Structure 1
Amino acid sequence: MADRSFLDWPFFEPRHRELSAALEAWCAVHLPVDHGDVDAACKALVAALGQAGFLRHSGADADEALDVRSLCLIRETLARHDALADFAFAMQGLGMGAVTLFGSEAQRAWLEKTRSGRAIAAFALTEPGAGSDVANTATLAERAPGGWRLSGEKTYISNGGIADLYLIFARTGEAPGARGLSAFLMPADSAGLTIAERIEVIAPHPLARLKLDGVMLPDAALIGRPGEGFKIAMSVLDVFRPTVGAAALGMARRGLDEALARVRRPRAGGGTLADHQIVQGHLADMAVRVDAAALLVYRAAWTKDMGAPRITREAAMAKLYATEAAQEVIDTALQLHGGDGVRHGSAVEALYRDIRALRIYEGASDVQRVVIARSVLG
């Protein structure tokens, strides 16, 4: 079992330790799942996580705040057992983050469905010409009788094709650039919404390119006020970026565990790989990276839970370091496995594919460096 001594750190309360233990026990029975049919696996995972009660942490009641430490603990634990389970949980939170933080009472009715696992959510921000640069969003939302008409494309949308509800960001034109964006809730059965392409990537996830051809949405679909879309998107990412670091941390812990099991294995000629100082040096570096990532992730989560209005710097540091460190830890774990490390279906081979995307989505590593540098310079 992975090291759990970090739960004794002062970042956590008894309820966090209880949550971690309960989820660990659930994972031991239910994970990993068969990834042969990714869509079916994700739908089943959402339903199972909802039935078990863990999805209630993906949103918050109107009079409560999201518990970011719980979000991070859940993502770390799920990612250590099964990256697809982490994905299924994470998208329920990210997809409904704007509703949790800014949604109206009517919009919050969707939270009852996503938190129970009866509906699947998606976060649709990225476009073919606007990835990390949200200000270049080109999807248009134009005023129409009784609401808004949306036209454009979104791409690399997680849960695209299986979601029941999409959070869509579109240009409403109140001001140039980022200040002219708005956020909308768009049901998957909206007329004019089509799945233009299903996208396959190195680690199995349901991804799609969406085409919006005159999708009509009522005024009630608008989250907040016109022109607040960028603020809403950044507020959501501010909360969920540390959880990406937590997922990377879970994968790194699994990589370290797999490496330890490998190097302790008796060899035909006697002794173990762990007897060699060069191997011990690799293990030391891996352990340091894991603990440093954990400190940054849970510092960010604790800071937000203590009432900080924004944790932009802390979140960027957590995501940047944890994802980059996890890549290094997993790469070393694969190296220590030798040829078995690249055998398709091995644990470290799967981790090697799973970790790579985390350095890109929700703000690529270089974007996080810019965010951190601006904070330091400011």
Structure 2
Amino acid sequence: MPAFSLDPPQSAWCAELRALAAERLRPLAEKGEPGHVNRALVAELGQLGLLERLFTSGAVDLCLMRESLAYACTEAETALALQGLGAHPVHAHGTPAQRDRWLPRVADGTAIAAFALSEPAAGSDAAALELRAEAGASDPVAEPDGGARWRLTGEKCWISNAPEADFYTVFARTTPGAGARGVTAFLVPADRPGLTGTGLDMLSPHPIGALSFDAVPVTADDVLGEVDRGFRVAMGTLNLFRPSVGAFAVGMAQAALDATLAHTAQRDAFGGKLKDLQSVAHQVAEMALRTEAARLMVYAAATAYDEGAADVPKRAAMAKLLATETAQYVVDQAVQLHGARALRRGHLLEHLYREVRAPRIYEGASEVQRGIIAKELYATREAAQ
């Protein structure tokens, strides 16, 4: 797909998604309880076949879904994205048994997934994980065949869908002192003994919580990928989902821009319409310019991912950084041009203003993305010398 345009079937699909989000998903979202998993909404995403597409489509389709849903219903977009984020490691690295048990339930919306990477002292610095996976021959959870077994001890924090998820992709340290090279990914069902969680009161419509691991038993059957190679699982997942976070941001920016176009075209001010004021017209033009630039970078990064390009980490970081920072700017300017009405509870822009802030932090804060970009640039330079 050319990075600068969508073909007619893609454009038609995006329009269909916007309509479905407005007509079928938004009413369910409005009935949900803030801070809790909206299982009816997730089930409807499954009924519409959108969750299954998380495992059958590429990065471009993921971005199209997230942008289109975000435009009309941010709650539906987030519910879909969190299912994908939590389950992608199972899809990409799981054993046949793991995949057969969980992916059909994720796809039909009956199992809630979560991606458990961040910790109280290891948010942006994912290589500094402290959740311990401790092994021992005398461990009472030892497998009969003598296979690998561990007990997870420690905490996770800022985990979306926690503590209400049905299973977690958990990243734990299996080799102390090894940095990123000593982390293993585990698939941990929520009913595993010793695993408890508490919700956090966050500026978010979906649940975010902390998890406590008190000698939670896991075995070789729970490993995703290879032992001590879990950091690759995490980064591979983030390289896919970071551009799509950008798509989420672009969807919000476009919704704010369209609302601003409608408002400034009809609002009377100073003997004319707001749009007739050059300062307003130029501001709207700047909002549109930045939104389109972010969109192009998002789809360029997604195309690079689908084509297996070597520079995906850099492109993914650039797309996530530019799009999330752009959406913050566009929504803020939209609020300014609407005036006090945009601050009223229930207004679209009041909703977007609350929603747009978090993406600049999760899946790697903006500062982390800049660090990734710089690292990749210098690595490319050194390789060329």
2:103 counterpart of 1:111: yes
CA deviation map 1:304-355 (0-9, x unaligned): 1123366101100000000000000000000001111222221111101101
* Residues 310 and 15 of structure 1: CA distance in aligned 2, closer, same or farther (over 3 Å): farther
Superposed CA deviations along residues 207-263 of structure 1, whole A, max 9, x for unmatched, are 111101011123210011110111110011011100000000000001101111111
1:50 to 46, 62, 75: 46
Q: Does 1:245 align with 2:246?
A: yes
Alignment check: 8 A CA contact 1:174 1:226 kept: no
Root mean square deviation, CA, Å: 1.9
* Structure-2 residue corresponding to 1:89: 80
Deviations 1:44-89 (A, max 9, x none): 11100001101112224xxxxx411110011111111122111100
Structure 1 residue aligned with 2:370: 369
Aligned to 2:146: none
Structure 1 match to 2:217: 216
Task: Give the Cα–Cα distance (whole angstroms) in 1 for the partners of residues 5 and 278 of structure 2.
Answer: 34
Q: For residues 98 and 269 of structure 2, what CA distance do their matches in structure 1 show?
A: 63
User: Offset at 1:36?
Assistant: 5.2
Query: Structure 2: which 5+ residue stretches go unaligned?
Result: 144-148, 380-385
Query: In structure 2, what is the Cα distance between the partners aligned to 1:36 and 1:46?
Result: 11
Match 1:170 to one of 151, 169, 172: 172
Q: 3-state SS of the aligned residue for 1:54?
A: coil
Post-superposition offset of 1:14: 5.5
The 5 Å alignment of 1:137-152 reads 137-143=129-135, 144=139, 145-146=142-143, 147-152=149-154
Whole-angstrom CA distance in 2 between matches of 1:366 and 1:81:
29
Cα distance change, pair 95–15 in 1 and its aligned pair in 2 (3 A): farther
Question: CA contact under 8 A between 1:11 and 1:299: conserved in structure 2?
Answer: no
Q: Which residue of 2 aligns with 1:3?
A: none
Shift of 1:363: 0.5
Question: What is the one-letter code of the residue matched to 2:175?
Answer: G
CA–CA separation in structure 1 for the residues paired with 2:362 and 2:35: 20
Q: Percent identity?
A: 46
Written as runs of structure 1 = structure 2, the 5 A alignment for 1:4-15 is 12=6
Provide the aligned length of Structure 1 versus Structure 2. Answer: 366
- Structure 1 residues 286 and 268, CA gap change in structure 2 (3 angstroms): closer
SS in 1 for 2:238: helix
Higher mean C-alpha displacement, 291-300 vs 210-219: 210-219
2:182 corresponding residue in structure 1: 180
Deviation at 1:266, TM superposition (A): 3.8
User: Please, what TM-score do these two structures have when normalized by structure 2?
Assistant: 0.91
Matched-pair contact (CA < 8 Å) for 2:180–2:231: yes
Aligned runs of 1:268-347 on 2, under 5 Å? 270-308=271-309, 311-347=312-348
Q: Give the secondary structure class of the aligned counterpart of 1:264.
A: helix
In 1, Cα distance between the equivalents of 2:3 and 2:223? 41
Residue of structure 2 in register with 1:63 after alignment: none
AA partner of residue 193 (structure 1): L
Out of 106-115 and 240-249, give the one that drifted further: 106-115
- TM-score using structure 1 length: 0.92
Following the alignment from structure 1 to structure 2, what is the Cα–Cα distance between the partners of residues 11 and 303?
15
- SS of the residue 1:148 aligns to: strand
Contact kept in structure 2, 1:42 and 1:85, CA below 8 Å: no
Structure 1 unaligned blocks of 5 or more:
1-6, 61-65
